[in-house]
């Protein structure tokens, strides 16, 4: 080869060495940050490629290219030297969640829900794989060379790769064939929960098994070891499961699980680096894998490790020593005394043991000591409250228990009914209405009680009922019942009125019969003769006066009639009459 090209190659190699310490971080806004781990600072920022959240970033093994995929459905190839987009193409119809570059660097796997294998030179799809039901969270190649070495190797055919998806407890293994016939997974590994971190040892020789370490959301680590040699029908279970727990000592007798956050194989492929504990302060430990046990539980005291570090950090803060005779003033309400625990009192644990002669205090006495009113605690007659009424009602409706329903629905108190209906869940409204309809058809006494329940149901849950599309068929029976009742209401009210009148008349006649008759004859009569004569004279005078008054009244009436006549004639235009006629009229 010529000199200039050789120089170019050397410069490329130097660039790759420089790039070894750079960490690429995808952000939610679509930009990618390049961070130098050696310098401890941000080196550059890649912008203009994505306009939505970056899901995955992958470095190319040979050149300085970086590949990224995003929620905006696109895959971008970046030149990290110029910090510009080298190429951008649409990766899927939905968001692209994961990427993986082939061992030879000529192919790229991308996945949303379906998995696609791209040719990086032409940017065209080379193969399609069916994928998962949910979006893929991890993709990685498990082999570098094909198992069948008889055929010439083109860099991709005959390789296996692994994929895992969110909310999926199966990890699928896919085989890249020369033909496009089979698109389904050839085998799968089953785990206890959704995988959060996966690492594997790549199989380089034909008979070398692939080792797989899968960390699940439940904090367990599953180890698999399998030789990839074609199709396997059943999902493979783990060879070994590793868990970490705290020792059950130092007062806390129950061991607690410590979640494993990540795990990766060391270079010798015989030991693992485990990351466990808190995400803010994780502990990294090297564990060897020379065990044949199917389940390992490592006991680690995480609290001690963490507490030592926190104690060191808080050395400058001094706590005052409080003596037993010292009085400490506590902020709060004046006159409110709060018990202050001295450091010595905290260490001694009092054991609540009774002496042989003592008797145990009753609950009433204990409540009295706590200043709690005992009468308030006891519910009168053991009646349940409205919140328990709502629970009882739902239980009765679900189990169709007549005893519970009778107990709840026969309450007469308006506020209890209202609170119960308000606190019951929405899904129980329609069953309650059906039950009320059934009871309305029974005897009139129960119907009068059911109407109260109906009223509160319709007032409190009207907005929910109006949203139901099949409301009319659901409440058809109730409508018919109400209509038939309302139709007879007029007749009943008329009958009620008549009966009321009859009843009142009967009652009145009975009261009349009961009253004793009063004797109307006078007990004493007094007669005076002189007063009788005077009275007759007075009557005569009164008669005369009345006769005179009568004549005067008549004259006055005639005069008023004549005045009325003249007024009428003036109005009608008859005032221009002849004088003779006038005199005659007068």
Identify the band that residue 29 occupies on the pLDDT scale cut at 50, 70 and 90: very high
In three state form, how does the secondary structure of 223-235 look? EEEECCCCCCCCC
Ranges 43-47, 58-62, 139-143, 324-328: which has the least confidence: 324-328
Residues 6 or more apart from 272 whose CB is under 8 A from it? 213, 263, 264, 265, 266, 286, 287, 288, 289
| Token code pair at residue 376 | 């308030």
Is residue 291 within 8 A of residue 240, CB to CB? The reply is yes
Measured CA to CA in angstroms, residue 225 lies from 189, 205, 218, 293, 572 at distances of 10, 15, 21, 14, 132
- The pLDDT score that the predictor gives to residue 381 is 47
- pLDDT for 413-467, tens place per residue? 888 998 999 888 888 999 999 888 888 887 777 888 888 888 899 888 888 888 8
Least confident of 11-15, 280-284, 338-342: 11-15
For the chain, give every domain's residue range: 97-299, 389-488
Looking at the DSSP bridge assignments, the partners of residue 100 are 109
Q: Describe the crossing of helices 386-399 and 414-423 by its angle, rounded to 10 degrees.
A: 60
pLDDT in the model for residue 117: 92
For residues 12 and 79, give the distance between their C-alpha atoms in angstroms, rounded to a whole number: 13
Q: How many CB atoms lie within 10 A of CB 76?
A: 24
DSSP-derived pairing of the beta strands 257-258 and 136-141: unpaired
Helix axes 402-409, 429-440, angle to 10 degrees: 80
Instruction: Give the integer Cα–Cα distance in Å for 481 and 111.
Output: 61
Q: What is the C-alpha separation between 36 and 34, in angstroms, rounded? A: 7
Q: What is the pLDDT of residue 261?
A: 93
pLDDT at 527: 80
CA 161 – CA 200 distance, rounded (Å): 11
Chain segment 383-396, per-residue pLDDT in tens: 555 568 888 889 88
Tens-digit pLDDT profile for residues 351-363:
455 555 566 677 7
Alpha-helix residue ranges (DSSP H) falling in 441-526 = 444-460, 462-466, 471-474, 476-514
Residues 557 and 10: their CA atoms lie apart, in Å, by 146
CATH (one of 3.50.30.30, 2.130.10.10, 3.40.50.720, 3.40.50.300) for 97-299: 2.130.10.10
| Residue 1 confidence (pLDDT) above 50 | no
Mean pLDDT score across all residues of the chain:
78
**Nearest residue to 212 (alpha-carbon basis) of 252, 181, 239:** 239
Distance between alpha carbon 494 and the CA centroid of its chain, in Å? 54
Lowest pLDDT segment from 188-192, 441-445, 503-507: 441-445
Other CB atoms within a 10 A radius of the CB of residue 166 amount to 15
Asked if residues 118 and 99 have their Cβ atoms less than 8 Å apart, the reply is: no
């Amino acid at each position: 080869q010529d000199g200039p090209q050789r120089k170019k190659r050397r410069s490329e190699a130097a660039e790759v060495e420089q790039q070894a310490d750079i960490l690429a971080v995808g952000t939610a806004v679509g930009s990618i940050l390049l961070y130098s781990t050696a310098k401890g600072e941000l080196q550059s920022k890649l912008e203009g490629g994505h306009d939505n959240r970056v899901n995955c970033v992958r470095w190319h093994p040979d050149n300085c290219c970086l590949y990224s995929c995003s929620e905006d459905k696109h895959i971008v190839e970046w030149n990290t030297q110029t910090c510009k987009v080298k190429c951008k193409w649409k990766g899927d119809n939905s968001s692209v969640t994961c990427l993986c570059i082939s061992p030879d660097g000529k192919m790229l796997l991308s996945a949303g829900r379906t998995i696609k294998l791209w040719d990086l030179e032409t940017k065209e799809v080379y193969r399609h794989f069916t994928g998962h039901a949910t979006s893929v969270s991890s993709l990685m190649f498990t082999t570098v060379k094909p198992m069948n070495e008889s055929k010439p190797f083109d860099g991709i055919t005959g390789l296996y790769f692994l994929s895992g998806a969110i909310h999926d407890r199966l990890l699928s293994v896919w085989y890249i064939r020369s033909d496009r016939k089979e698109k389904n997974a050839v085998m799968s590994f089953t785990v206890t929960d959704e995988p959060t971190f996966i690492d594997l040892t790549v199989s380089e020789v034909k008979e070398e098994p692939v080792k797989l370490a899968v960390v699940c959301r439940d904090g367990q680590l599953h180890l698999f070891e399998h030789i990839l040699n074609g199709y396997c029908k059943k999902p493979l279970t783990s060879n070994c499961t590793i868990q970490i727990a705290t020792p059950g000592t130092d007062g806390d007798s129950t061991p607690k699980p410590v979640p494993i956050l990540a795990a990766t194989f060391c270079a010798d492929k015989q030991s693992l680096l485990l990351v466990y504990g808190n995400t803010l302060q994780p502990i990294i430990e090297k564990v060897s894998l020379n065990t044949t046990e199917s389940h390992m539980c490592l006991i680690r005291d995480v609290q001690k490790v963490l507490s030592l570090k926190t104690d060191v950090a808080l050395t400058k803060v001094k706590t005052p020593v409080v003596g037993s005779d010292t009085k400490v003033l506590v902020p709060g309400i004046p006159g409110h005394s709060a018990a202050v625990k001295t450091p010595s009192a905290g260490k001694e644990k009092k054991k609540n043991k009774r002496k042989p002669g003592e008797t145990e205090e009753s609950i009433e006495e204990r409540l009295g000591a706590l200043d709690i009113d005992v009468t308030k605690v006891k519910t009168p007659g053991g009646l349940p409250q409205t919140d328990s009424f709502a629970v009882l009602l739902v239980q009765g409706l679900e189990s169709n228990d007549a005893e519970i329903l009778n107990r709840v629905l026969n309450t007469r108190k308006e506020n209890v009914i209202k609170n119960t209906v308000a606190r019951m869940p929405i899904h129980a409204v329609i069953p309650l209405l059906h039950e009320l309809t059934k009871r309305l058809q029974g005897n009139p006494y129960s119907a009068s009680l059911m109407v109260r329940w109906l009223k509160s149901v319709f007032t409190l849950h009207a907005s929910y009922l109006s949203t139901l599309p099949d409301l009319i068929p659901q409440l058809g029976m109730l409508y018919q019942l109400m209509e038939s009742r309302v139709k007879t209401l007029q007749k009943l009210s008329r009958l009620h009125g008549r009966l009321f009148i009859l009843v009142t008349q009967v009652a009145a006649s009975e009261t009349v019969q009961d009253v004793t008759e009063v004797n109307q004859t006078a007990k004493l009569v007094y007669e005076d003769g002189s007063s009788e004569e005077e009275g007759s004279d007075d009557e005569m005078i009164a008669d005369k006066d009345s006769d005179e008054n009568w004549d005067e009244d008549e004259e006055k009436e005639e005069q008023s009639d004549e005045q009325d006549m003249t007024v009428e004639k003036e109005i009608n235009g008859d005032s221009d009459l002849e004088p003779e006629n006038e005199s005659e009229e007068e």
